[in-house]
Structure 1
Amino acid sequence: MKIEAQSKKLIKPSTPTLSHHRKLNLSCIDELQHPGYAGFLFYYQADGENHEDDILQRLRLLEESLSETLVIFYPLAGRYVEEGLFIDCNDQGVEFVHARVNGQLDDLLRGDVDADLLGRLSEFPLGLAGNPLVVIQVNVFECGGLVISLRSCHKLGDMSTMATFINSWATVCRTGTNELTSPYFELSSLFPVKGSEVTRWPPLRGGVKFAMNRFVFSSMALSRLKLAAAKHAQVSRVEVVCALLCKVFVAMDRAKHGRLRPLVVCQSMNLRGKVNLPIPTNAFGNFYTMVVGRHTMDQDDLSLEAFVKAIHDTLAITKARYAAVADGKSCMNMVRDSTRESKEWAQSEEENVVTFSSWCGFPFYDIDFGWGKPDLVSNTCMPVRMVFLIDSKSEGGIDAWINLSQEEKPLFEQDLDIVTLTNLHGSYVCRSKH
C-alpha cells in the first residue's frame, strides 16, 4: 500500500490562551522522561457509502473540534523550552496531517498487508515550525475507512494524559465542549524540578529491525491462565499475561545463551489514585513510575505459577510503598530512583530484560468521534524490544503488541504456550533511523 500526505497544517486553539497560562513548568517527573514521541492509532471501518464529500466533512469536523479542545488542553499547542524546563503555551499549534492510503482498511485489520505499513501510518516527519509537541495523522483509505494516529512528546505527559485528551477531543467532535472539564495542571508545584538531574537515555540499537506482533488473549484464555495460577486468587489479567510472556522470554533467552540468566522485569504503573496525595485522576503531565524487579528463577521450577508469584509480589510491594507516601518529596525521590534503575538495567548485557507498558483500563474503545467506536486500537511502532498491553475490543480480552527482533520473532511465535493460548494477528516492521 502507498501512503501520500495530502496536506499538513498547524491547528491552533480556537481562542488565544490567557496570558497567565502562557508558562507551564515541567515537574521533576516530566524532566525524567525520554524526549521522544509515543502514541497510538485508532482504526475506524467505513460505515456504508463514503463519498469524497463525507471524508472532507469528517476532516473539517476533526480540525474544528481539535481547535476547540486545545482551548482547554492549551499546553499541547505550545513548545518545549529545554533551557528553562517549561512549556511555552504560545498557541503555535498541533501538527495535523491528512494522508491517503491506496488500499482497503480490511486488509490491514486482517494483517494481510505490507509489513511496514503500520509504521508509515504515523511516521510523516515533523516538518512545521518549532517541533510540535503533538502530531496527529488522519489516514484515509480507499474504502472510506480511517486510521487516526496521535503521537506526543513524552515530556509533555504520559498515556493517562493523552488518553484523557483524545477522549475529550472525540467528545467535542461528537457533542461539543459542554461536557469538558479542565485538567489539573499543578503537578510541578508538588514535584518541582531541581535542575541538577542529568537524564541520559541509552541509545537505540542501531540497524536492528523490530517486528511488532499482535497476540490476542481471549477472556477464555485468560480464565485458563488464572486457573493455572490458582494459589494467587487475587492475580489480575495483566499479571497473568505478563507472567506468561516472561516465561516465554526466559525460555528463548535460555536457548540462546545456554544458561538461565537473571530476569529483570520493568513495568510502568500509573500513580493516579495510588498515593496519599491530593492529585486528581485528570492530572496533566507524567505521573507514573517504573516497577523494577530482578528475579533469579529456579531452573527446577519455571512454571507459570512461579512467574505469576514473581510478578504479583513485586507489584504488590511497590503498590504498598506508594500507598504509604504522604509527601511530594518522598514520592518524587522514589520515582527518580526507579527511573534511574530501569535505565541502568536497559543497558545490561548480563540480564534478560523485559519491559512492559500496560494501557489496560483506559477506555480506548469508547473513542467515538461521531462515526462509531474503533474496530482496533494499537500503539505506534517503536524500534525497541517492548510489550504493550491493551484491552481487546471483545470484553475481557487483552491484546499484547510485542516488539521483537527478527531473530526472536519466529522463536516466540513457535512457543507452545503462545500457540495454545493466543491468536496471532499480523506483523509489522518497526524501523530504527539511528
Structure 2
Amino acid sequence: MAEKDEIMSNDRIKPSSPTPNHLLNFKLSFLDQLAPSFYVPILLFYSASDVRTFATDLSVLSEKLKTSLSELLTLYYPFCGRLRDNSTIDCNDQGVLFTHSKLPIHLSNILKNPQLHNLYQLLPCAPYNPQPQERDTLGIMAVQLNQFKCGGIALGVCFSHKIADASTAASFLNAWAATSRGHGNSSFVPPPMEETSLLFPPRNISVDVTSSMLGHANTVTKRFIFSGSNISRLRQNIGCPNFNPSRVEAVTTLLWKSSLEAAKDTSDSGEENIAASSVCHVVNIRSRMVPALSKYSIGNIWQYAVSSLVEVEGGVGWRDLAERVRETIRKVDGDYIRKLQTDECVEVVKALEETRTVAAEKGNRCYAFSSWVGFEFYEVDFGWGKPTYATTIAMPIKNLGVLTSTKDGDGIEAWLTLTTREMAQLEHNAELLNFASLAS
C-alpha cells in the first residue's frame, strides 16, 4: 500500500455502564501470567456488496460498532482496563481505542495477495513490538475500522495476550457481533470472568517464552494454502498404520518435514548440528479439562507441549514425525492439566523450559506450531454478513507456523516463518507443493 490512510476519527469506547467497585481488580490466572506480553491480532474483511446492504454511509456503520462495543464491555469489563503488573488488571473503564481509517485503495488490492507489510497497516498497533508506554495507551484491546475506496471494510482488532488467546478473541468478536445484530446482552451470558484464575490461581512466577525469540534478523514469512481435498490426500499419504492423522496433525507433519529438509539442505558443514529435531505445539486445553470448560471461556487456556527428539540423520520419515506430533499433543491430558492447578505447576513449567533450552544448546532444531483451526472467526457477522477473509498476522519468530481455517472450513492456511535462506529452499520443495499452494 503505497498511499497512506486518512484517520477519520479516534475515540475511546467505554462501557455503557460503569464497572461495579467489587470488580475493579481482576486477577490474572497462572496461565495468563505465562502468556507473552504482546497482542493477539485479528483481521476481518467484509466485501463492499455486503456492507452496502447495511449502510451506504460508513459513519453509520462505525457508530453501530462503537455502540455495540460499549454495551458488550459492561460484560467483558477487564477488556477496557489497564494491565498494572503480571498478576492484575485495573478495571478502571478507561476504554478501548477505536480508530476509523480511510484508505484510497480497493479491498481487492489487499485480498488478491495478502502481504504482511500491507496487513500490518490495518491494525491499531504493531502487535508484537509494543513499547511499555504504548501498551499503557492502548490498554487491553484496540480496534481499527479500515474503510476502502470500493466501500469494503477491514476490522483490525488487537487483544492483549495477557487476557486473551485466539479462542477468547473469537468468542469476544462473535459476542460483539451478536450485540451489534441486537442479540447481545439480553440473550448472551459470557462465562464468569474470574473462572480461569480460580481454576489456575496466580503464582509468584514470570516467564515469557517468546520475548527472546521475536524479531530475528534474516527471517521471512510465507503463506501456504492447503485445500480440503489436498489435506485428505496428505492424510492418506502419511499412512500411519495405527491411526489416521487429523488435518492439523497432517499439515504440521508436512511443514515440519519440509522445513527440516530445507535446513539440512542449506546448512554449512559445522554450522549447526541437525542430527535431531523436535516439535512444539500449542494445545487448547478447554476440552481436555475434567470437567471440560466452555469454548467461550476467557483467558489463556492453553499449554505448550514439546516432543522428544527425533533422529534425522539419513533422512526424515513421514510416520516417525506424524507419530511424534500426535504423541506430543496428547501429552497435555487430564493428569498434566491437574498438575498445572497445583503447586507442581512451577516444576512443570521449569521442566518445559529446560527441555527447550537443552535442545537449543545442542543445536537441535525445534519447530513450533499454533493451531487456530476451528475457531469461529468466519462466523463474525455484525449485521452485514460474514467475513470474506479472516486471518491473523504471523508472529515474527523463526521456525514457527500458525495454522488457521480457510473460509470453506475444510482447508488450512499456514503462515510459516523461517530464515530467508531456508525459505528460499522450501519454496521449491516438490513434496510440499504437491499438497499446498504458495500464496505469498
TM-score (norm 1): 0.89
CA distance change for structure 1 residues 139 and 408 in 2, over 3 Å: closer, same or farther?
farther
The match for 1:90 is 92
Partners of 2:307 and 2:327 within 8 A in 1: no
Q: Distance in 2 between matches of 1:278 and 1:265?
A: 26
Aligned match of 2:63: 60
Q: Secondary structure at the match of 2:287?
A: coil
Match of 1:316 in 2: 330
Deviation for aligned residue 1:190: 2.6
Name the CA shift for 1:201/1:218 in 2 (closer, same or farther; >3 Å). closer
Q: Which residue, 329, 338, 341 being the options, matches 2:342?
A: 329
Conservation of the 8 A alpha-carbon contact between 2:339 and 2:348: no
Question: Is there any run of 5+ residues in structure 1 with no aligned partner, and where?
Answer: 427-434
> Aligned AA for 2:100?
H
What code does the residue aligned with 1:86 have? T
Whether the aligned pair in 2 keeps the contact of 1:27 and 1:187 (CA below 8 Å) is: yes
Partners of 1:179 and 1:375 lie apart in 2 by 27
| Structure 2 equivalent of residue 122 of structure 1 | 123
Native 8 Å contact 1:16 1:91 kept in 2: yes
Which stretch shifts more, 173-182 or 240-249? Answer: 173-182
Q: Matches of residues 345-364 of structure 1 in structure 2 within 5 Å?
A: 348=361, 350-364=363-377
- Identity value in percent: 29
1:153 corresponds to 2:160: yes
- Structure 1 contact 29–332 (Cα < 8 Å) conserved: no
Check the 8 A contact 1:275/1:322 in 2, yes or no: no
Distance 1:273 1:135, change over 3 A: same
The match for 2:149 is 142
What letter is aligned with 2:236? L
Q: Distance in 1 between matches of 2:115 and 2:290?
A: 48
Counterpart of 2:173 in 1: which secondary structure?
A: helix
Larger deviation, residues 68-77 vs 181-190:
181-190
Counterpart code for 2:237 = A
Query: CA RMSD, aligned part only?
Result: 2.7
Report the Cα offset of residue 11 of structure 1.
0.8
Structure 1 letter corresponding to 2:74: V
Matched with 2:402 is 388
Q: Look up the SS of the partner of 1:213 in the other structure.
A: strand
Residue-by-residue CA offset, 1:358-399 (whole Å, 9 max, x unaligned): 011111111111111111111124322321111111241111
2:274 paired with 1:255: no
Aligned-partner Cα distance in 1 for 2:361–2:180: 46
Q: Is the 8 A contact 1:32 1:336 kept in 2?
A: no
Equivalent pairs, count? 423
2:151 and 2:219 map into 1 onto residues whose CA distance is 30
Displacement, 1:277? 4.8
Paired position in structure 1 for 2:249: 239
Distance 2:402 2:284 in 1: 14
Q: How far, CA to CA, are the matches of 1:327 and 1:305 in structure 2?
A: 31
Structure 2 Cα separation of the partners of residues 206 and 284 of structure 1: 28
Matched, 1:221 2:249: no
5 Å matches for 1:181-196?
181-184=189-192, 185-196=194-205
Q: 1:294 maps to which residue? A: 308
C-alpha distance in structure 2 between counterparts of 1:97 and 1:10, whole Å: 9
Describe the shift of the 1:33–1:48 C-alpha distance in structure 2 as closer, same or farther (beyond 3 A).
closer
Q: Which whole-Å CA distance do the structure 2 matches of 1:331 and 1:357 have between them?
A: 25
Distance 1:6 1:351, change over 3 A: farther
- Deviations along 1:330-373, one digit per CA (max 9) or x if unpaired, are 67447634653476369657121211110111111111111111
Structure 2 unpaired stretches of 5+: none
Q: Alpha carbons of 1:211 and 1:173: their partners in 2 closer, same or farther (altered >3 Å)?
A: farther
Distance 1:114 1:288 in 2: 29
Cα offsets for 1:164-208 (capped at 9, x unmatched) = 111101111123313311222222223222324455754245562
CA distance in structure 1 between the partners assigned to 2:343 and 2:330 by the alignment: 19
- Shift of residue 163, structure 1, vs aligned partner: 1.4
Separation of aligned partners in 2, 1:389 and 1:176: 30
Contact 1:271 1:288 in 2 (8 A): yes
